[in-house]
């Protein structure tokens, strides 16, 4: 009976989170905030009164969830988009994090009664942008940006956790041991990143060979295999002294850009599973928060959050990208999309697990900083892109046809186009569209009914055309001239 009640409560929390996320999306509120809110409402000071106060469990759930989120993000990262901006994203993910941690740390030192090490620890915890927040907001909004900004932001958020993780564990260790060796710390940082990168590359290549050669009897086992490989990438790299988060991301980028059987199945599985892990992660962190403990640090958290958003983050971006030819407005926008999310809150559990004196205060401040970041920056990304002129309105997004799917080895492309009353194809018969050679409209969805069209079929506003073509460029032409 108790087990059934636990399952029921868990399922209801998931359902409420999903429904809340659907509602929040319509009103422009980031779904991640609603997941946190549901967790807080269900917590010990909320409506359900669930007593959860275990930083160790929260940290474990956080690490597992971040593995899945990073792996999913890597599978969807296109190498051809990342390659031109790899150095820019890499510098943002390393030097940018270091500058942010130092700036926030110094501000905190002068603002609060913290030692310099405690202040730098707080700066380190909030220094990295959050992959879950950046991936979910940029991809859910489906925004097109100029100058390679989007892949740069996604690369940064997917690869900057190692530096923040290193700095967090470094300053936590210094406070516990009361000892610091600068050269040894630099050596450990280089070693962790190097081992993480090499390990991720090797595991990614071996994973590709295994997935393509194993010939499993059931297709449903391929996503399970991918999940096992993602956890092996993290844990094995950590065991040998590298950074597991970096290894997971690199291995998944390699898989996502390789010829891989069942790649679509892997992507669909990890996309859904990443959302599940995001919900569980934010629910868990929400349960860990005591609202009564947040109230005393609202002003402090707000001050640090505003300094981070308007001073530390822009400072890190402009210094990191100083030697690259990037427009001023693009740098401003990159600064604005320095979203903080689950990662800082997960990292804030490290001082709690270590038993530091001011761990609870640091956790509550970090939670407040994250909340301000998601609410202020997460709700205004589209407006900032339009205001700064970095949105690429010349590109129309090509959407894969829902009813048509081909293997990765196939040269055939699919797409679907939704016609509005302003679409150029409305009112025309299918044969009048003069589609490119080897491009066909194989199905039309009208009023929730699917039918195969004929040449004399007249297109109407509200129709969704399902197309196949031998070339993606031909589908782009159809989107531009029919949609």
**Are residues 451 and 341 part of one domain?**
no
145 phi and psi angles, rounded to 5 deg: -120, 150
**pTM exceeding 0.95:** no
Q: Is residue 1 part of a domain?
A: no
**Are residues 428 and 289 part of one domain?**
no
Q: Is residue 269 part of a domain?
A: yes
Helix H or strand E encompassing 173: helix 161-177
**CATH code of 367's domain:** 1.20.1530.20
**Are residues 178 and 266 part of one domain?**
yes
Q: Is residue 393 part of a domain?
A: no
Instruction: Report yes or no: 122 and 361 within 8 Å, Cβ to Cβ.
Output: no
- For the chain, residues with pLDDT lower than 50 are 25, 27-28
Question: What would the two tokens of residue 471 be?
Answer: 């070339």
* Residue (of 294, 419, 270, 466) closest to 363 by Cα position: 294
**Are residues 335 and 468 part of one domain?**
no
Is the CA virtual torsion 323, 327, 332, 333 positive or negative?
A: negative
- Tell me the residue range of the domain where 96 lies: 10-388
Which residue has 């390990």 as its token pair? 199
**Are residues 438 and 344 part of one domain?**
no
Residue 372's Cβ-count burial label (10 Å; 0-12, 13-18, 19+) is buried
Question: What would the two tokens of residue 257 be?
Answer: 């850009």
* Residue (of 1, 28, 32) closest to 17 by Cα position: 32
Instruction: Report yes or no: 98 and 163 within 8 Å, Cβ to Cβ.
Output: yes
How far, in Å, CA of 165 to CA of 125, rounded? 8
How far, in Å, CA of 441 to CA of 452, rounded? 8
pLDDT at residue 228, rounded to an integer: 92
How far, in Å, CA of 154 to CA of 148, rounded? 10
* Residue (of 314, 353, 421) closest to 59 by Cα position: 353
Residue 213's Cβ-count burial label (10 Å; 0-12, 13-18, 19+) is exposed
In this structure, the chain runs to a length of 483
Q: Is residue 2 part of a domain?
A: no
Q: Is residue 394 part of a domain?
A: no
* Residue (of 412, 388, 385) closest to 400 by Cα position: 412
Q: Which residues pair with 464 in a beta bridge?
A: 418, 445
Question: Could you say which of 337, 371, 388 is where a domain stops?
Answer: 388
> 440 by DSSP, 3-state: which?
strand
Cα torsion through 96, 97, 98, 101, rounded to 10:
120
Buried b (16+ CB within 10 A) or exposed e, 270-304: beebbbebbbbbbbbbbbbbbeeebeebeebbebb
CA distances from 80 to 150, 160, 257 (A): 13, 20, 9
Instruction: Report yes or no: 35 and 278 within 8 Å, Cβ to Cβ.
Output: yes
pLDDT at residue 135, rounded to an integer: 64
Q: List CB contacts of 444: < 8 A, sequence separation 6 or more.
A: 450, 451, 452, 453, 457, 459, 463, 464, 465, 466
> How many domains does the chain divide into?
2
What are the percentages of helix, strand and coil residues in the chain, rounded to 5? 65, 5, 25
Residue 142 carries which DSSP code?
T
How many CB atoms within 10 Å of residue 332?
16
Q: Is residue 107 part of a domain?
A: yes
**Are residues 235 and 103 part of one domain?**
yes
**Are residues 449 and 335 part of one domain?**
no
Instruction: Report yes or no: 210 and 260 within 8 Å, Cβ to Cβ.
Output: no
Which residue has 């040269």 as its token pair? 411
Residue 436 carries which DSSP code?
P
How many CB atoms within 10 Å of residue 144?
16
Instruction: Report yes or no: 430 and 467 within 8 Å, Cβ to Cβ.
Output: no
Alpha carbon 175 to chain centroid, angstroms: 31
**CATH code of 456's domain:** 3.30.70.1450
Q: Is residue 130 part of a domain?
A: yes
How far, in Å, CA of 221 to CA of 378, rounded? 36
Q: Is residue 402 part of a domain?
A: no
**Are residues 331 and 449 part of one domain?**
no
**Are residues 462 and 332 part of one domain?**
no
Residue 458 carries which DSSP code?
B
Question: What would the two tokens of residue 108 be?
Answer: 């905190």
pLDDT at residue 139, rounded to an integer: 61
**Are residues 464 and 429 part of one domain?**
yes
How many CB atoms within 10 Å of residue 427?
13
CA distances from 149 to 70, 277, 284, 336, 398 (A): 19, 27, 32, 12, 19
**Are residues 419 and 383 part of one domain?**
no
**Are residues 319 and 227 part of one domain?**
yes
């Amino acid at each position: 009976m108790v087990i059934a009640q636990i399952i029921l409560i868990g399922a209801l929390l998931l359902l409420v989170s999903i429904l809340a996320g659907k509602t929040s999306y319509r009103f422009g509120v980031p779904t991640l905030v609603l997941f946190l809110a549901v967790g807080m409402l269900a917590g010990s000071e909320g409506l359900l009164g669930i007593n959860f106060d275990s930083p160790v469990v929260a940290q474990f759930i956080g690490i597992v969830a971040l593995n899945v989120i990073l792996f999913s993000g890597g599978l969807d990262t296109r190498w051809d988009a990342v390659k031109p901006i790899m150095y820019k994203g890499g510098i943002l993910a390393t030097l940018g994090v270091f500058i942010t941690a130092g700036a926030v740390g110094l501000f905190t030192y002068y603002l609060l009664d913290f030692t310099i090490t405690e202040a730098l620890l707080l700066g380190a915890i909030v220094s990295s942008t959050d992959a879950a927040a950046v991936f979910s907001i940029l991809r859910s909004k489906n925004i097109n940006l100029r100058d390679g900004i989007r892949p740069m932001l996604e690369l940064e958020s997917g690869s900057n956790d190692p530096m923040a993780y290193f700095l967090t564990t470094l300053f936590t260790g210094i406070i516990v041991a009361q000892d610091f060796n600068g050269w040894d710390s630099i050596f450990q940082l280089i070693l962790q990143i190097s081992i993480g990168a090499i390990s991720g590359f090797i595991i990614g290549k071996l994973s590709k060979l295994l997935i393509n050669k194993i010939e499993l009897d059931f297709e449903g086992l391929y996503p399970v295999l991918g999940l096992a490989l993602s956890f092996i990438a993290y844990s094995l790299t950590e065991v040998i002294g590298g950074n597991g988060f970096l290894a997971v991301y690199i291995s998944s980028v390699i898989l996502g850009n390789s010829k891989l059987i069942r790649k679509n199945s892997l992507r669909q599985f990890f996309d859904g599973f990443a959302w599940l892990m995001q919900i569980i992660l934010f629910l868990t962190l929400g349960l860990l928060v005591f609202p009564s403990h947040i109230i005393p640090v609202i002003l402090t958290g707000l001050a640090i959050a505003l300094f981070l958003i308007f001073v530390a983050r822009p400072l890190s971006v402009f210094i990191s990208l100083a030697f690259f030819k990037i427009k001023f407005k693009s740098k401003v926008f990159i600064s604005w999309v320095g979203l903080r999310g689950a990662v800082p809150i997960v990292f804030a559990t490290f001082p709690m697990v270590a038993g530091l004196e001011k761990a609870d205060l640091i956790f509550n401040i970090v939670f407040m900083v994250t909340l301000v970041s998601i609410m202020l920056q997460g709700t205004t990304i589209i407006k900032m892109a339009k205001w700064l002129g970095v949105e690429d309105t010349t590109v129309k997004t090509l959407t894969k046809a829902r009813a048509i799917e081909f293997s990765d080895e196939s040269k055939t492309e699919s797409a679907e186009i939704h016609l509005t009353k302003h679409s150029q194809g409305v009112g025309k018969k299918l044969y009048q569209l003069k589609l490119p050679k080897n491009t066909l409209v194989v199905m039309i969805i009208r009023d929730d009914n699917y039918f195969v069209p004929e040449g004399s079929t007249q297109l109407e506003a509200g129709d969704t055309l399902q197309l196949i073509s031998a070339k993606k460029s031909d589908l782009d032409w159809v989107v531009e001239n029919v949609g």
